[in-house]
Structure 1
């Protein structure tokens, strides 16, 4: 099969197109013919070795956490996904296996979900990791529920965009920060208050909207970009930071928060992820949640996609067309 592999940790130059042996599904696994692969910040961080604390690197390694495609074969114990079924999933690259930058990928059945009928392959590939991270931050860690107030820092990102929509679906009041060019976009997603983090005074504008502070702050950016996040919380509120994998980025000052009777947590998308992705798929199928704006690149441009993400330049979610002739830029 055609795949992008790396034989060592390094810069984008280590990503090489190659012909590799097609994997075979083991018990409880699904062999997916990959049509599109999503590209996430975790991909370039994995490429540079930042995930060494989570799994053992074995080379050659095929990266890619997110995929959309069709069922090609199944392993023992899998009898509910016929060949040709359209599916999307997080790959098992986080378990040390090959990921989605390949024409075929073996994925745990517990992570594999039927695609909603209203999604095409590029859009489906843009969903799993950012949507699951947003869900984990809001609900698994933040315990968000109807009537609560939440500030989503970085609402213009893929994670932040999903978080805005999920919070609205849950019946929460939503404020968000983003760049000036994303203000109208986040309002369309359902934000009640949109703050330009470059020119706006986040604390001042938020206090006018929620005088006692918000119940939950979800930091989708990290790296110290919200230095006064604890000051935005009401008494007993919680700050949840999405795991960035940046060296030294541990989220909020946990000790300071505890002294102030505030709570903190770090969130990440858990594997296997199928049960939560099923719930997200239902929201998408019902037209209540939409994937982010995206740009489709050929598989051979994977290094370009990594460089854009690493430099913080893409305005749209980056998706790789693994199967030739897939989709078009959106």
Structure 2
């Protein structure tokens, strides 16, 4: 099979097209013929070695956390996914398997979900990691309840866009920060207040909207980009930061928060992820959730997708077309 292979950690020069032996599904696994692979910030961080604390790198290494495609074969014990079924999933790249930058990927059955009929392969590949991270931040860590006031920092990102929609679906009132090019987009997704972080003072704008502070701040950007994040919360509120994996991002100040009667948490998309991704699939099918804007690139242009994300130049979700 054709795949993007790494023989070592490093810059985009380590991403090389090569031919590998096609994997075979083991017990409880599904072999997916990959149509599209979503590209996430975690991918370039994985390429540079930042995920070494989470799993062991074994070379040759195939990147890629998100995929869509069709079932090609199943392993022992899998009886509910006929060959040809359209599916999407997070890959098992964090569990010693090859990822989604390849024509075939073996994935645990517990992570694989049938694609909503109203999505194509590119849109489906753009969903798993960012939508699951948003879900984890809002519900698993943030304890979001109807009637809460929520600030999503970074509503123009894939994670932020899903977070705005999920919070609104759950009955919260949402404010979000974004760049000027995304103001109309985040309002369309359901944000009641859209704050241009380049030209507006975030704290002042939010204070006018929520004088006592918000119940939940979901920081989708990190690296200290949200000034005095704890000061935006009401008493007893919670700051949830999406795990960024970069060394210079210390995350929330847990001690300061506790001293001021506030709470903090760090969120990430957990694997296996099929149960939650199934709920997300239902929301996509009903139209309550929409995938982000896409730019689809051929697999051979993987370095371009990584560079855009790493340099902050991506204006839409990057997706690799692996096969027709």
Question: Is the TM-score greater than 0.5?
Answer: yes
Which digits, 9 at most, give the CA deviation of each residue in 1:212-255, with x for residues without a partner? 00000000000010121000000000000000001031311111
CA distance in 2, matches of 1:204, 1:14: 45
Report the Cα offset of residue 95 of structure 1: 1.1
Task: Confirm whether residue 244 of structure 1 aligns to residue 244 of structure 2.
Answer: yes
Q: CA deviation at 1:145?
A: 1.1
Unpaired runs of at least 5, structure 2: none
Residue 14 of structure 2: aligned partner: 14
CA distance in 1, matches of 2:191, 2:227: 22
Q: CA deviation at 1:94?
A: 1.1
Secondary structure class of the residue paired with 1:207 = helix
In structure 2, what is the Cα distance between the partners aligned to 1:105 and 1:227? 41
Please name the residue that 1:273 is paired with.
273
Correspondence for 2:128: 128
Instruction: Look up the match of 1:317.
Output: 317
Between the aligned partners of 2:118 and 2:250, the Cα distance in structure 1 is: 38
Task: Provide the rounded CA distance (Å) in 2 between the counterparts of 1:86 and 1:145.
Answer: 33
In 2, the alpha carbon distance for the partners of 1:289 and 1:241 equals 22
Counterpart-to-counterpart distance in 2, 1:220 and 1:81: 34
Deviations 1:107-143 (A, max 9, x none): 0000000000000000000000000000000000000
Aligned to 1:327: none
Q: Deviations over 1:181-231 (max 9, x none)?
A: 100000000000000011111111111111100000000000010121000
Deviation at 1:97, TM superposition (A): 1.1
- Decide which moves more: 245-254 or 233-242: 245-254
> 1:130-177 CA distances to partner (integer Å, 9 max, x unpaired)?
000000000000000100010000000000000000000000000000
1:290 aligned residue: 290
Report how many aligned residue pairs link the two structures.
Answer: 324
Calculate the TM-score normalised by the size of structure 1. 0.98
**Partner Cα separation in structure 1 for residue 259 and residue 248 of structure 2:** 22
Task: Name 2:211's counterpart in structure 1.
Answer: 211
Q: Distance in 1 between matches of 2:16 and 2:185?
A: 36
> Which has the larger displacement, 248-257 or 121-130?
248-257
TM-score by length of 2: 0.99
- C-alpha deviation, 1:96, in angstroms: 2.1
CA distance in structure 2 between the aligned counterparts of 1:267 and 1:287, rounded to whole angstroms: 25
In the alignment, structure 1 segments of 5+ residues that lack a partner are 325-330
Q: Please give the secondary structure, in 2, of the residue aligned with 1:296.
A: strand
SS at match of 1:224: coil
Q: d(CA) in 1 for partners of 2:188 and 2:259? A: 38
Distance 1:79 1:172 in 2: 39
User: Partner residue of 1:74?
Assistant: 74
In the alignment, which residue of structure 1 is the partner of 2:38? Answer: 38
Matched, 1:177 2:182: no
Secondary structure of residue in 2 paired with 1:161: helix
Deviation at 1:55, TM superposition (A): 0.1
